[in-house]
Amino acid sequence: MKISQKGLYALQATMLLARRYSQGAIRIREIAYDEGLPERFLELILLELKNARLVESTRGAKGGYRLRRAPSEIKLIEIIRLVDGPIAPFLDAEQLRDLISRDADHRGLYQVFLDVRDAAVRILENTTLADVLDGKGARPAKRQPKKKTDTPPPL
């Protein structure tokens, strides 16, 4: 899975807003300086996050940006999907399922790719900004049962 530079900047900015959640609005200039991000690019990213209702802005002398919800309520996948689109380290899930169903010679390979994609999604769906701040990483997710296949696994 590859995250764009824009995606990394969005994650860095939201992490700073999460760390300072109790301090209220933080100015763009301060976010850019503290995280070493280009201010003009950060403005565009924050506007995108605002339009998606992940952050909110306040005008005036004490204005700036803050998270709209608590850091414990914002999943990493929300930010990544907003900025970078679907999580697709190889192909998107639908393309992989299609290949699995019609390419018998390479079905096992495509299934591995789908499993990797699904594992990445599960981790990002179960990890909040607060988890990352606490150094906890992903919360354990309930494992989905393996799908039964028509052929037994090789020995």
Cβ count near 32 (within 10 Å): 20
| Long-range CB contacts for residues 120-125, cutoff 8 Å, separation at least 24 | 120/1, 120/87, 120/89, 121/77, 121/87, 124/75, 124/76, 124/77, 124/80, 124/87, 125/75, 125/77
pLDDT one-digit tens code per residue, 98-113 = 777 777 777 777 778 7
Q: Taking residues 1-22, what's their average pLDDT?
A: 92
For residue range 26-59, list pLDDT tens digits in order: 999 999 999 999 999 999 999 999 999 999 999 9
* 64 bridge partner residues: 58
Average pLDDT of the chain is: 84
Strands 55-58 and 64-67, by their bridges, are antiparallel
DSSP assignment, residue 56? Answer: E
Angle at 117 between CA 6 and CA 93, to 5 degrees: 100
Q: Which amino acid is at 69?
A: R
Query: Which domains occur in the chain, in start order?
Result: 5-133 (1.10.10.10)
Sole residue written with tokens 């495509």: 110
β-bridge mates for residue 55, sequence order: 67
pTM: 0.76
